Amino acid sequence: MLIRLLGPVEIINDGRALDAGPPQQRLVLTALAADAGRLIGTETLIDRVWDQAPSGARRTLHVHLSRLRRLLDTAQSNDQAPVRVVRRSGGYQLDVEPDQVDAHRFRHLVEQAHERHRTDSERMKLLAEAMDLWRGPPLSDLPGQWAATVRQAWQQQYLDAVQEWAATSVQAGETGPVLALLAGLTAERVTDEPLAGAYIRALYAAGRTSDALDRYAVIRRHLAERLGADPGPELQQLYRQILAADPALTPAATETHTRWTPHQLPAPPPAFTGRDGELARLTAPVDGADVLITVIDGMAGAGKTALAVEATHRIADRYPDGQLYLDLHGYSEGADPVEPADALANLLNGIGVPPAQIPDGLDGRAALYRTRLVGRRMLILLDNAAGEDQVAPLLPGAPGCLVLVTSRRQLAGLDNTRRLALETLTMADAVTLFTRRAGGHPPELVTELADLCGRLPLAIRIAAARLRAHPTWTLAHLVERLRDPRYRLAELEAGQRSVAAAFDLSYQRLSLPARHAYRALAGHPGPELDEHAAAELLGVTPVAATQVLHQLMDANLLLEPAAGRYRFHDLARAHAVSVTA
């Protein structure tokens, strides 16, 4: 049995098409088949089937699912892998071999073509086989916004495959089939610059220089008339190369563009402990029809990067087009925050764009980055971000990708993001983390140490490292050294890791008024304060005090346990006192 989505939706069984029911029922089938083998929540199914769900949507959905079950069960034969709609906790799942769904078969063939060991001949054959699955616009008989969004993303995947096949074929000197296909596609998509570029390259490689220049003139005219724009930098560069008869355009010298699959995630953190609730949120199934962006923020040393890396490793297999990782050095000793244009160059290189093809300037790089991500399912981890302006150009513009951003700031200025505010560990998890790193010790001393470390993962790991580095020390000796708050930060240093240094980086990124407030507020005698107490300490109005309190909160140097009530983490207060001295 085959489920065909790359064209009108069809179920093929023993060579004949089955009646998959009315459009809405076919849409239910498609909503499941698009994520074959994965659990799809009931609410997600409803959102995919109806742009605005009617009051009886859940009941109607169950009717369609029942009919599909009967249809699929009746059509099963003994010599075929079964295809079943399965009810599971929280939703439904289509149990089917991925290669029985043409959209997944298409993606699998393209992935095989991207494998580094493939020859050009093998790559051409795999891409051609993938393209042969295409019967027209995907889901062409289905209504609704979700179907339209998926259709657009899959069409871009097809066009990407066509361009890769064309480049490989031209490199092999086989321009005839390329010209035949691209002539029709460029006539349909008159303002598609990458497609036009592939066609112009093929024309030039076939010795049709005049036709190549004419085709450039055609797309330049269409862009001016329809969009009021000139061709982009890549197409203009190609035009200049043709005029100059650049040898780099000849098949023997052409560098074939291959969209490889990056795997850039750092190794999973050793002895990762706790964070069960946070991991459940980060690894929960999501609707691939949207770009999902989650910002993980928290104070220095809270374990943001460790959590993000652990979560991304757990869900990496859901993103077959690979994983990108970039340290933005928002808070790194001896390194300035990465400029957005430089970050984009790094990311573009990671998805296979040769350095010579990366445009100059932020806008050109951002546009190319968004274009190359269309139709891909990628996992992108942007670690240690400095602020919204650094991150915004690095976000995809089309559905299919999941982005995790870690930062000491809340990044509230980013639109359409989920926030995960990372707090310190629970006492139980803090005790477990220390025990995993330092071995068994008297429970009451381990609990006290975790408390003295403020249940901050960085502090606990450093304390464990200190104990391991001093074989003659007992845990009681280390705890005694940590009890004096005046010297606690000095004790929490091991090798290049230091709690004080971590807080220093956050402090240095503050404005001058916020630095002053950070130091002054540490002198408040009580555990908490409000804007009036802060105003008195700072010698400003309550309104001005509130503004600077919010700056410290945004930097995660001050906590708000209740509305209008503020307090320091114990180690942050110790640091504020140390920079005051």
CATH number at residue 85: 1.10.10.10
Tell whether 471 and 379 lie within a shared domain.
no
How far is it, in rounded angstroms, from Cα 21 to Cα 27?
10
Tokens of residue 68, six digits: 């599909």
pLDDT, residue 256, reads: 42
Residue 269 located in a structural domain: no
- Give the three-class secondary structure for 11: strand
For residue 418, list its beta bridge partners: 294
Cα maximum dimension of the chain: 84
Q: Are 47 and 146 in contact (CB under 8 A)?
A: yes
The CATH number that applies at residue 221 is 1.25.40.10
Residue 333 located in a structural domain: yes
Helix (H) / strand (E) containing 296: strand 292-297
Residue 521 located in a structural domain: yes
Give whole-number Cα distances, 308 to 294, 414, 502, 552, in Å. 10, 18, 19, 24
The CATH number that applies at residue 363 is 3.40.50.300
How far is it, in rounded angstroms, from Cα 298 to Cα 308?
12
Contacting residues for 222 by C-beta, under 8 A, at least 6 apart: 190, 191
For residue 12, list its beta bridge partners: 2, 17
Tokens of residue 147, six digits: 């179907």
Burial pattern 271-309, b for ≥16 Cβ within 10 A else e, equals ebbbbeebbeebeeeebbbebbbbbbbbbbbbbbbbbbb
pLDDT, tens digit (0-9, with 9 covering 90-100), for 392-412: 999 988 778 899 999 999 998
How far is it, in rounded angstroms, from Cα 129 to Cα 66?
34
How far is it, in rounded angstroms, from Cα 209 to Cα 423?
63
Tell whether 302 and 380 lie within a shared domain.
yes
Tell whether 215 and 124 lie within a shared domain.
yes
Q: Are 419 and 308 in contact (CB under 8 A)?
A: no
Tell whether 235 and 158 lie within a shared domain.
yes
- Nearest 5°: the CA angle 407, 408, 409 is 85
- Give the β-pairing of 323-327 and 379-385: parallel
Last residue of a domain, one of 390, 421, 452: 421
DSSP per-residue string spanning 266-290:
PPPPTT----HHHHHHHHS---TTS
Residue 217 located in a structural domain: yes
Tokens of residue 562, six digits: 């209740």
pLDDT, residue 116, reads: 75
Tell whether 411 and 379 lie within a shared domain.
yes
Helices 512-521 and 531-538 pack at an angle, to 10 degrees, of 110
Contacting residues for 212 by C-beta, under 8 A, at least 6 apart: 200, 201, 203, 204, 242
Contacting residues for 277 by C-beta, under 8 A, at least 6 apart: none
The fraction of the chain above a pLDDT of 90, given in percent, is: 54
pLDDT, residue 257, reads: 43
- Range(s) of the domain holding residue 340: 276-421
Last residue of a domain, one of 495, 522, 553: 495
- Residue that has been written with the tokens 């930098």 in this structure: 233
Tell whether 439 and 386 lie within a shared domain.
no
Tokens of residue 468, six digits: 């391991």
Q: Of 182, 206, 210, nearest to 196 (Cα)?
A: 182
Residue 291 located in a structural domain: yes
pLDDT, residue 80, reads: 62
User: What are the phi and psi torsion angles at 319 (to 5°)?
Assistant: -125, 85
How far is it, in rounded angstroms, from Cα 528 to Cα 29?
56
User: What are the phi and psi torsion angles at 559 (to 5°)?
Assistant: -105, 155
Tell whether 413 and 431 lie within a shared domain.
no
- Which stretches of the chain drop beneath a pLDDT of 50? 252-258
Residue 223 located in a structural domain: yes
Tell whether 111 and 202 lie within a shared domain.
yes
Q: Are 534 and 517 in contact (CB under 8 A)?
A: yes
DSSP per-residue string spanning 40-103:
EEHHHHHHHH-SS--TTHHHHHHHHHHHHHHHHHHH--TTS---EEEEETTEEEEE--GGGBHH
- Nearest 5°: the CA angle 503, 508, 511 is 125
* CB burial of residue 116 (10 Å; 0-12, 13-18, 19+): exposed
Tell whether 85 and 173 lie within a shared domain.
no
H-type alpha helices, 407-498: 427-438, 443-452, 457-469, 475-483, 488-491
Tell whether 296 and 339 lie within a shared domain.
yes
How far is it, in rounded angstroms, from Cα 444 to Cα 220?
75
Output Rg (C-alpha) for the chain, integer angstroms: 29
Q: Of 297, 265, 264, nearest to 278 (Cα)?
A: 297
pLDDT, residue 290, reads: 61
Tell whether 234 and 109 lie within a shared domain.
yes
Q: Count of CB atoms within 10 A of residue 43's CB?
A: 14
Tokens of residue 184, six digits: 């029709």
pLDDT, residue 377, reads: 85
How far is it, in rounded angstroms, from Cα 203 to Cα 238?
12
Last residue of a domain, one of 468, 495, 522: 495
- Give the three-class secondary structure for 395: coil
For residue 293, list its beta bridge partners: 403
How far is it, in rounded angstroms, from Cα 287 to Cα 580?
49
Tell whether 349 and 463 lie within a shared domain.
no
pLDDT, residue 573, reads: 92
Domain count, the chain: 5
Q: Are 292 and 418 in contact (CB under 8 A)?
A: yes
